[in-house]
A and B are shown apart, each in its own frame.
Chain A
Amino acid sequence: MKTILQAENLVKVYRVGSVDVHALRGVSLDVEEGEFLAIMGPSGCGKSTMLHLFGGLLTPTEGRISIDGEDVTAASDARRTDIRRRKIGFVFQRFNLFPTLTAEGNLRLAERIHAGGRETAKNGDEHRREVLSLLKLEDKMHHKPLEMSGGEQQRVALARAVINNPAIILADEPTGNLDTENSAIVLNMFQEMNYRFNQTIIMITHNPEAAAMCRRIVQMRDGQIVAPSTGVQL
């Protein structure tokens, strides 16, 4: 199986005033293509920092990250942006949809960014409809975020993340703002994406039930992976 993400000895130190804060203290992790991986751990253990490093939003103080064969750490800011554009899809806890755009508009914007600012292909409409219907959002296509429930918004955010067929989806507590019912719906969608399309997903979660739906769980504490990766029987 192909290794889609490789992190070696990642160290991240933030300078806060005159104090050095060690967010990551030598994390190494390999993620295979098609994996659905949960990262768990208490607040402040470095989960989000690690996710931001994987997404090229941050650069490590030490260590190396490779995404789908491309070294993110050695890349310039513009190059990391380019890798993120082509290979990464983000899903956030707070959905982060553009409130002035409809569900379709949000997807169209992601497509336009993916296309480097150019207008998207003519078959884009069909593709968007396909993705939205897969996430059971076909009737919400022309709705704006505030006209949708939290669960629906998060599904649109997931649709936005997958619309450009990224190599990896990075999800930062995607069910953190959802009730139990909507959490289950969204997690099922993640799982379906993983099963049906072999989509690689790395998900931060505090929720053991959410983590239980993943193929593997990584436990973190104090900037380190503390427990060996746990394979989950599904």
Chain B
Amino acid sequence: MDNLVVNNIRQRPLRALISVAGVALGVALVMLFTGLSRGMSNDLQRRSSNLRAEIIFTRSGGMELTSSTANLSTKYADELHKVEGVESAVPVIRYVFQGGGGFGFEQIEGVDWDAYAALNAMQIVEGRAPAGVDEVVIDETKAQNNKTGVGETMSIFGGKPYRIVGVYAPESGARVKMSLAAMQDALQSPGKCSYILVKTKAGVAPEDVARAIDAAPTTKGNKIQFTRDVVTNVEKSIPYLGVFLRALVGLAAIVSALVVMLAMYTTITERTREIGVLKALGASRGFIVSLIEQEAFLISLIGLIVGFAVSLAAGYLIHRAYGLMFEYGWRWALVAAAIGVGGGLLGALYPAVRAASLDAVTALSYE
């Protein structure tokens, strides 16, 4: 191809590669972080949407995003059963621990399987329900992602081995569950749970039941949360997540722009004489600026494609290694594209204008 822009890039492959890597890094950063945020949020939403209970009864601090407190007496379940409009109340202990490889966090729940499964219309699709103190069941997604299943073991509570005795579906709440008694035993919290799932009777508004629970002398003073709000609350429970993402996007744009600017600045210095020749040939300032911007655009475009490819590959590998969920959306992909290309074009603008402003005679005599 006899094209000045393309040939200039091909002439200095290492520099082009570094520029492409800079843009790709910015794009990949945006894609991975927003993909992770979206993936984890959607994953949580999917699993929460499978919870059939309308109300989560808990205590302050009992159900934070990364907490593993079992500070609620299971006796509240009996009291909740007595509240008008309550069909069932199932206590759950949630334990949060650091994820595989020290990356992210995972959850495990202790439940009375029969009551929990009946409440959420879940069933064991392979094996059986957990019964012993060293037994767990996992959902189909975890079995698939971790390439594990019935008969295998997994480590929880500081490396203690647990046998997988069953696989259940659909996914709901934590991906690993054991019996409530086993979890209480492991956490040395007999008679305690983290929260109680409350299913309301058909035709009764959850708001009315919530008010009744809050009014009942034996259950009042605790925290009542609607299941539908769980995802919203989880997002709220990570302070400044939106600000963090926006700051990240800004940083990615700056990284892309700086790398391209440095690369193009070097290019301009190297090609000073050529710029002088362009001027002698009668090239306008606009022509010279557009030539350099075209080069930056091409580099940014390649960086963008590489960035997308890296995001997809890294997302897949991280998911395989650590089970973290990535979901990429068009909106953030467009933002990443705008950052990659826009950052590149903006970064090249200063070197381009500087080149266009060079004195032709000085440029021609540049060694």
Contact = CB atoms under 8 A, between A and B. Distances in A.
A binds B: yes
Q: Is the interface of B mostly helix, strand, loop or mixed?
A: helix
Interface stretch (B6-14, B23-31, B83-91): B6-14
Interface stretch (A76-84, A175-183, A188-196): A76-84
Nearest to A49: B361
Nearest to A53: B361
Interface residues of A, number: 29
B277 A96 contact: yes
Nearest to B282: A85
Interface in B320-367: 360-361, 364
B7 A52 contact: no
Contacts of A105: 2-4, 7
B284 A82 contact: yes
A90 B280 contact: yes
Contacts of B285: 78, 81
B4 A81 contact: no
A221 interface: no
Interface residues of B, number: 25
A55 B364 CA distance: 13
Given A108-B2, A117-B290, A81 B284 contact: yes
B274 interface: yes
A71 to B, nearest CB: 17
B10 A100 contact: yes
B2 A110 contact: no
Nearest to B290: A117
A102 B1 CA distance: 10
Nearest to A58: B361
Contacts of B287: 113, 116-117
A113 B4 CA distance: 12
A84 B4 contact: no
B282 A84 contact: yes
A78 B286 CA distance: 10
Contacts of A109: 4, 281
A109 B7 CA distance: 13
Given A98-B4, A105-B4, A55 B281 contact: no
Nearest to A78: B284
B274 A81 contact: no
A100 B3 CA distance: 8
A160 B278 CA distance: 12
B282 A96 contact: no
B94 interface: no
10 contacts: A57-B360, A84-B281, A92-B280, A99-B11, A100-B4, A101-B4, A101-B7, A102-B2, A105-B2, A110-B281
